[in-house]
Structure 1
Amino acid sequence: MAAQQTGPVVVGVDGSESALDAVRWAAAEAASRNVPLRLVAVFTPLPAAPRHDMGLTAAYMDQVVTSLRGTLEVAAEVAAGAAPGVEIGTELRTGYPGQVLTDESRSAVLTVVGSRGLGGFTGLLVGSVAVTLAAHGESPVLVVRGDRAPDSGLPVLLGVDGSPAGEAAVGIAFEEASRRAVRLRALHAWSDVVVDPAVAVLVDHQAWETEERALLAERLAGWSGKYPDVEVDRVVVQDRPAHALVQGSADAGLVVVGSRGRGGLAGLVLGSVGQAVLRHAQCPVLVVRG
């Protein structure tokens, strides 16, 4: 059974279609957790301008603020339609979107954004705000990608790697699968690309795979007892983790990953696997910090 949670679900809105998709997901998440939904729009003022430009700057500020208030009203209507009965609050804040939403995440049970906002450049697969929040958010961060509905009935796909962030992701993934009443697909991908080709023929791949299966079983131990309602499929593949997770996202309702894996370098707050999944997954991605 899912744990009791407090704090709102926070979602960033900016008027884009991607953000409205995020609002629908956030509303469903708030309803399933029985917590309030907080819609946050961010006004980023112009930098200091020369005195003769101040009239234009003031007009710009008024126009943008009015537009953002309208954006919040539309988002609130969409949220109410997606999850009737959810308590909805709106907030217009000043600052930079990534920083503001990171600050909001400190008191949130979940922070949600679309994969791309109005500021996205053509060709980019994920926006800078989503990347920033996934790297620095203090709550789990849900980046809404693809066309999956929250109630798709598809399994939760979990990337398991044995890292501290990965351990936190395991617990969240079980919770998400329980809340959605779907299967959990626990995926552990390993690769022997680091082995010198000259000695590759000497490697006992069967023994290696047996060891990796034991690692997966160890990481899942105890969680099935806490969530007996969740059916678990254990999958071990010889592949690069990012590639395996992106491929697996094709028939998943949600992908859950840790913010950093075992191969993370000191100073990085979002590992290469997390970044790749954010950019290429075919369904929403939930990033969990350790």
Structure 2
Amino acid sequence: MQKRIIVGYDGSAYSHAALSWALDEADRTATPVELLYADEWPVLAPAASMVPSPALRPESYAAEVITGTLDRAVAQAGRTHPLIDVTATTVRAHATAALIERSRHAHLIVLGVRGRSLVSGLFGSVVSAVAAHAHCPVVVVHAGDPPANAAVVAGVDDSAAASDVLAFAAQQAAARKVPLRIIRAWPPVTGLWEQTPIVTGVMTGPERRPFDDMVTVVRDTFPDLQIEAEALREHPAAALAAASVTAQLLVVGTRGRGALRGLLLGSTSQHLLRHAACPVVVVHDIVDQL
């Protein structure tokens, strides 16, 4: 069974932006799309019934509101992207748990956020948790419409995830027929060493070599792809946030699936999920190797 692009959808403007991104990606890859609506009320209702509140939600709500919302979204997708198989599913579960479980068999998870902040409401916490725990790449779509000819940016470091980030980013750039910009940023030296002559701000050959080797592999694998590689002495979060302003997609990775990873997705990745000016992809699983 072909893996699907799963879109977290609740009828909001930001989830619709996520759907639009997913449909365009599906057009490029001939991948089916599934809208996933997590109906949390049956999970929350027992607790809600213990406190004074307005009448509980009528049983007809699911059919009249949720189903109607999804049906309209599927119909609109059929008009704009008639060649894409688009379906919708409602699950009775917390949104975070439902999306993480569905990611086990997904091609991508695509989520939207309000503006450029994850702190504006519950959905922001869902995005952060899913980006940390998903079993496939997670795309976080911000408001705005990056230029179609803008570059894809890949942010890499010395972790094992770097090769997967580069593979995903190179495939995206090749499919979109745009340049690939690869950035490796080393944080500036601070503290006692900051005032010594040893700090030059210039990357040495030994420091650059692993990065240059990775770039060489990408150039050899994608000979027709225009590639720009930058080695910077700058904080990675700042360098990549600045690069996102002129990018159409920013691809970053994670450092494994340790027990603490949920809250520690990585300071750079968390910063970019909040502040990047373009859609951000957090790469988890191994994609086609270079």
Match of 2:23 among 21, 27, 42: 27
Q: 1:82 to 1:198 in 2, by over 3 A?
A: same
1:246 aligns with 2:241: yes
Distance, in Å, in 1 between the alignment partners of 2:51 and 2:269 is 47
Distance, in Å, in 2 between the alignment partners of 1:125 and 1:44 is 12
Shift of 1:54: 11
Is contact 2:9–2:35 with CA below 8 Å preserved after alignment? yes
TM-score by length of 1: 0.86
Distance, in Å, in 2 between the alignment partners of 1:242 and 1:52 is 44
Secondary structure at the aligned position of 2:154 is classed as strand
Distance, in Å, in 2 between the alignment partners of 1:167 and 1:181 is 21
Distance, in Å, in 2 between the alignment partners of 1:52 and 1:202 is 64
Match of 2:251 among 248, 256, 275: 256
Q: State the match for 2:101 in structure 1.
A: 103
Which amino acid letter does the alignment assign opposite residue 271 of structure 2?
A: A
Match of 2:270 among 256, 269, 275: 275
Matches within 5 A, 1:45-124: 45=41, 46-48=44-46, 50=49, 56-59=55-58, 61-116=59-114, 122=120
| 1:76-112 deviations in Å (ceiling 9; x for gaps) | 1332244221011111111011110111111111110
Q: State the match for 2:173 in structure 1.
A: 177
Runs of 4+ in 1 over 4 A off after TM superposition: 49-55
Identity of aligned residues (%): 31
Is contact 1:249–1:282 with CA below 8 Å preserved after alignment? yes
Distance, in Å, in 2 between the alignment partners of 1:166 and 1:36 is 28
Stretch of structure 1 that moved more, 75-84 or 39-48: 75-84
Superposed CA RMSD in Å reads 2.9
Secondary structure at the aligned position of 1:196 is classed as helix
TM-score by length of 2: 0.86
Q: 1:142 to 1:52 in 2, by over 3 A?
A: closer
Is contact 2:187–2:234 with CA below 8 Å preserved after alignment? yes
Unaligned runs of 5+ in 1: none
Q: State the match for 1:141 in structure 2.
A: 138
Secondary structure at the aligned position of 1:175 is classed as helix
Stretch of structure 1 that moved more, 164-173 or 180-189: 164-173
Stretch of structure 1 that moved more, 83-92 or 65-74: 65-74
Shift of 1:47: 3.0
Match of 2:11 among 11, 15, 33: 15
Is contact 1:7–1:107 with CA below 8 Å preserved after alignment? yes
Q: State the match for 1:192 in structure 2.
A: 188
Which amino acid letter does the alignment assign opposite residue 159 of structure 2?
A: S
Stretch of structure 1 that moved more, 41-50 or 248-257: 41-50
Unaligned runs of 5+ in 2: 286-290
1:40 aligns with 2:36: yes
| 1:125-148 deviations in Å (ceiling 9; x for gaps) | 981111111101111100001312
Q: 1:233 to 1:66 in 2, by over 3 A?
A: same
Distance, in Å, in 2 between the alignment partners of 1:198 and 1:283 is 33
Shift of 1:190: 1.1
